[in-house]
Amino acid sequence: MSLPDGVAVVIGVVLTVYVLLGGADFGGGVWDLGARGPRADRQREVVAHAIGPIWEANHVWMIVAVVLLFTGFPTGFSVIMTALHIPLSLMLVGIVLRGTSFVFRKADPAGDEGASGWQTVFAVSSLLTPVMIGVVLGAVTVPGIGYDDGVVTGGFFAPWLRPFPWAVGAFTLALFAWLAACYLVLETDDPALQDDFRIRALGAGWAVAVAGAAVIAAGWRAAPAVVAHFVETRAGALLLAGGVVGLAATQASLVRRRWFQARAAAVATVVAILAGWGVGQYPWIVRDAVAIHDAAAPDVTLRIVLWILGLGSLLLVPAFAYLYGTFKGRILFPRGGG
């Protein structure tokens, strides 16, 4: 594996970790908005308790991915930030508003009335951000962004105001909500609340299936190379099958109330989906415009980046292990396999 390929794989792994951790936080905001019935307040309490200790730390993985992109592939970073600055700005606004509203809704001097306003901001930003993340990923997956002689072409609206990026945005939102619901069943010992989140997880699983089918349907026309990868290559077909089987296994585990197995299968499903996208996207950072090897920084820079990342991991990984062990140990290592 070449150095550019190695750094690209690391970025893919880091983004996968961000989806599994930070993506579930956004999904929690969806269920905060969707809290209904006589246990609505308690459902929101479970969401807040689940997110509270770890939501800010999870954004570290997004920061790592962005730093690796602009350091290891400066041309790719420049093209993406130029062509897609509008959805990226909306994504950043959503991240900031979500974080501030999550804190301020507990400390607003206006009491319940002020908290209700921050509650709305928290919920809306939790919907906006996953959609924008998906829109950006969809836009770089299809031809439309051009890069000729150092100039980004294709316009600032056309590359992302198309059906395929928005189909990916809807799929991302459904995936985050589904992942969060699968996690939340383990965040409470109350059987009634577990059933509330179980029902939401089952419904969100069907939404993931429908949104995924919509992405494939839109991709036949907009991203034929990616769809062909999933149906014509062994690696693509195996990863697609892994995602489908993982989704089915998660749903079956939820029906049987096997919470730990459902969570493990959900994680495997997300890994298969993102790995399939990454393999299908290779060797492009921006489809038909910026390739990994063409956009890569000099080898000496990539080596330094990997060394620094390795040394930083000696601090980052144990810190995250301690954080999650402290606040999520009971959930990550349940007795009896739940």
**Segment (H or E) for 39:** none
Residue 91 has pLDDT above 70, yes or no: yes
Pairing state between β 284-286 and 146-148: unpaired
What would the mean pLDDT of 59-63 be, rounded to a whole number? 92
pTM for this structure?
0.92
Q: What are the pLDDT digits (tens) for 101-141? A: 887 876 655 555 556 778 888 888 989 999 999 999 999 99
pLDDT for 333 = 63
pLDDT of 337 above 60: no
Tokens of residue 135, six digits:
């829109």
- Residue 8 has φ and ψ, to the nearest 5°, of -65, -40
The answer to whether the beta carbons of residues 20 and 58 sit under 8 Å apart is no
Extended strands (E) in the chain? 146-148, 151-153, 284-286, 290-291
Closest CA to 201 of 161, 251, 256: 251
Lowest mean pLDDT among 35-44, 224-233, 317-326: 224-233
Cα dihedral 216→208→34→202 (10° resolution): 160
pLDDT of residue 62: 93
For the chain, the first-to-last Cα distance in angstroms comes to: 40
Three-state secondary structure call for residue 26: helix
Number of structural domains the chain divides into = 1
Report the pLDDT averaged over residues 239-247: 95
Write down the mean pLDDT value for the chain: 90
Q: Cα angle vertex 236, ends 175, 65, to 5°?
A: 55
Predicted confidence at residue 234, as pLDDT, reads: 87
* Rounded Cα–Cα distance for residues 121 and 211 (Å): 25
**Encoded tokens for 240:** 């697609």
Residue 80 has pLDDT above 70, yes or no: yes
Domain span holding position 297: 3-337
Average pLDDT of the segment spanning 181-190: 93
Going 44 to 47 to 50 to 55, the CA torsion angle's sign is negative
147, β-bridge pairs = 152
Quick one: pLDDT at residue 227? Answer: 82
Contacts of 136 (CB under 8 A, 6+ apart): 80, 84, 87, 88, 91, 160, 165
| 189: helix, strand or coil | coil
pLDDT of residue 110: 57
pLDDT digits (tens, 9 = 90+) for 266-322: 999 999 999 999 998 999 999 999 999 999 999 999 999 999 999 999 999 999 999
In angstroms, rounded to a whole number, what is the distance separating the alpha carbons of residues 16 and 274? Answer: 7
pLDDT band for position 334 (cuts 50, 70, 90): low
Lowest model confidence (mean pLDDT) among 72-76, 93-97, 169-173: 93-97
Q: What per-residue confidence (pLDDT) applies to 88?
A: 97
